[in-house]
Amino acid sequence: MGKRKLTDYLQQLQAKDKNLFVPYIMAGDGGLDKLKERILFLQDCGVAAIEVGIPFSDPVADGSTIQNAGKRSLKRNTTLAAVLDTLASFKDKRQVPIIVMTYLNPVYAYGMEKFARTCSQAGVDGVIVPDLPLEEEDLLTNMLTKYDIACIRLVALTSPKERVDALIRRSEGFLYAVTVKGTTGSRISYENEVNTYLQKLKEQSDVPVLAGFGVSTSEQAQALASCCDGVVVGSKIVELFNEHQTDEIKKLIGESL
């Protein structure tokens, strides 16, 4: 469990020469009882890990698709505690690493230490908090380290060299390279800038580099993965689950690996 499991799992897939594919789903979208089914389905599709989003009322890093999914989930009264409970309930039935993604405030309200402890008990292997930059992260990372959970950091196209270096030095699990100047679901621009940026990160990083925000087709996934180790796909997966198009999800993942 934890950081170690995430690292090993990614390494095993890379040893088989696979691109890494990490889908994002919004917990509680369509009801929390769907969570298990969706995670096991994605595991069967061959994904490298699953990002499980916990909804927040003010998701400032997200575009409209994920915002709306969060809103639907909150309407069903999804809470952080309930998501972690659900994850705990079938932790022995899955092998795929789980990464919880949420904003700081629900975690803050729950309690940092309690969050890390409960994540650990629920078989969560990594955590992403997009509104927690380097300057503030000790607040949470101290607790995550204590429970051996990976803190996955985001690096941006706009990050200057010193910040990139610092982020790479601290990265755990994988490095999440944001490929747009914008929110999740923004349209990715195929600038050379993105390719060079990914290649540079890849050269420097000891952990895998995954490109994310705005990836929606297997062509994009393949193109980006040729510059790094794989992709994170959020809005598109959320949209397809909402439309019950699981065949399309399987196809998208299959063609991206």
Partner 1 sequence: MTTYTGPDHNGKFGNFGGRFVPETLMPALLELETAYEQAVKDPEFITNITSYLHHYVGRETPLYFAKNLTQAFGGPKIYLKREDLNHTGAHKINNTIGQAFLALRMGKRKIVAETGAGQHGVATATVCALLGLKCVVFMGAEDIRRQKLNVFRMELLGTEVRSVSNGSATLKDAVNEALRYWVTHVEDTHYILGSVVGPHPFPKIVRDFQAVIGNETKQQMLKQYGYLPDAVVACVGGGSNAMGMFYPFIEEAQVKLYGIEAGGAGLNTNQHASVFHQPKPGVLHGTLTNLLQDEHGQIQEAYSISAGLDYPGVGPEHSHLHATKRVNYAAVTDIEAIHAFQQLSLTEGIIPALESAHAIAYVKKLAQEMDKHQSIVVCLSGRGDKDVEQIKQILEEKADGKTKTH
Tell me which residues touch partner 1 (CB under 8 A).
Answer: 56-61, 63-64, 67, 71, 74, 79-81, 103-110, 130-136, 153-160, 163, 167, 178, 181-183, 186
Q: State the greatest distance between any 2 C-alpha atoms of the chain, in Å, as a whole number.
A: 45
Nearer CB in complex with partner 1: 19/79: 79
| Nearest approach, Cβ of residue 45 and partner 1 (Å) | 28
**Residue 137 annotated to the active site:** no
Q: What three-state secondary structure class fits 128?
A: strand
**In this structure, what token pair is assigned to residue 66?**
């994920």
Cβ neighbors of 151 (< 8 A, separation 6 or more) are 126, 127, 137, 140, 141, 144, 145, 170, 172, 173
Distance in angstroms (rounded) separating the CA atoms of residues 192 and 185: 20
Per DSSP (E only), the strands in 114-256 are: 126-128, 150-151, 154-155, 175-178, 209-212, 230-233
Which one of 29, 62, 125, 239 is the catalytic residue? 62
Residue with tokens 């180790």: 229
In terms of CB distance, is 131 or 148 closer to partner 1?
131
C-beta of 109: minimal distance to partner 1 in Å? 3
CA–CA gap between residue 182 and residue 213 (Å, rounded): 8
Nearer to partner 1, 153 or 236 (CB): 153
Rounded to a whole number of angstroms, the minimum distance from the CB of residue 216 to partner 1 is 17
Cβ 78 to partner 1 shortest distance, Å: 9
> Is 62 labeled as catalytic in the residue annotation?
yes
Q: Pairing relation of β-strands 150-151 and 154-155?
A: unpaired
Instruction: Tell me whether residue 1 or residue 144 sits nearer to partner 1 (CB atom).
Output: 144
Beta bridge partners, 150, equal: 126
For the chain, helix, strand, coil in percent to 5 are 50, 15, 35
Half-sphere exposure of 108 (CA within 13 A, CB side): 10
Q: Which is nearer to partner 1, 91 or 181 (CB)?
A: 181
Catalytic residue among 8, 33, 37, 51: 51
Q: What is the smallest separation between the CB atom of 62 and partner 1, expressed in angstroms?
A: 8
Query: What are the catalytic residues?
Result: 51, 62
